[in-house]
Amino acid sequence: MFLRMLLLGGLILLSGATVSFSGTVNKEYSLDYPHAVSHDYVYRTPRVYQSEAENSSPWAKRGSSRPNKPLIPAEEGTELRLRVRELAAELLATSREPVAGELQVAVATFVHLDQLYETSAMGRYLSEQMLHELQRAGVDVIEVRMMPSMKISQSHGEYVLSRDMGELSYLHEVDAVVAGTYTVADGQIFVNGRLLAVATGKVLASGSTVFEVDPVGAALLRRSGQPVAPPASVSIQSYQDITD
């Protein structure tokens, strides 16, 4: 089995590239060798590659194709994170009482406005990012999902967060809770958050934001549902009530 070669003036035409006996290439390809090799060896090996400009992308290699799933620009995820940061800043700015360094705060999952037990990956993400933004601003945030002890699996890892009520503490010292709702209409998602005093239910602060449902938001909203059984309860009491 031999490929057809055309010998012209001491040159060999191979796979669309003109190769000389010295091992150099006269067109858009170059050889993957630091030294000259015989034409016979070049003929027997396919080790040629595209120019650096053509090979700048991992999907630009010959024989490769771009995946069918489109890549989501990182800016879309960043936009959602910045919206939560603005909402957290608005809560702190409008609070009737000092929060940072004064109150111990827990963050609840953001829920659908029309079904207050229904949430989604969007609602869970909003609460996760809110917790981060409040802690970043100096607020004492309590993680109610923390287990009293760490669980270790030899094959999978270490765990300290849980939603299993049998693994959690039933009493938390909390002064205020961040609760939030979201709803979607006409391609926009409307998010409202409020800081509630545990002892009285008084709204200490509130804030809202609205943004377009981009591919990231749509993916988070698809994972929506509510508990089949009624959720279990843990007690949240004001730190002052516990100490008095």
| Domains of the chain, CATH where assigned | 1-71 (no CATH), 74-243 (3.40.50.10610)
Measured between alpha carbons, how far is 63 from 56 in angstroms, rounded to an integer?
15
Q: Does this model's pTM top 0.75?
A: no
Nearest to 107 by CA among 177, 172, 175: 177
36: Cβ contacts below 8 Å, ≥ 6 apart = 22, 23, 24
Helix (H) or strand (E) holding 148: strand 146-153
Categorize the per-residue pLDDT at 62 as very low, low, confident or very high, splitting at 50, 70 and 90. very low
Around 104, how many Cα atoms within 13 Å sit in the side-chain half-sphere? 15
Which of 7-16, 26-35, 209-218 shows the highest mean pLDDT?
A: 209-218
Percentage of the chain with pLDDT > 70?
67
163 against 15, higher pLDDT = 163
pLDDT of residue 232: 75
pLDDT of residue 12: 45
- Contact between residue 61 and residue 55 where contact means Cβ atoms under 8 Å apart: yes
pLDDT of residue 29: 46
Checking DSSP bridges between strand 104-107 and strand 176-185, what pairing results, if any?
A: parallel
Measured between alpha carbons, how far is 57 from 38 in angstroms, rounded to an integer?
31
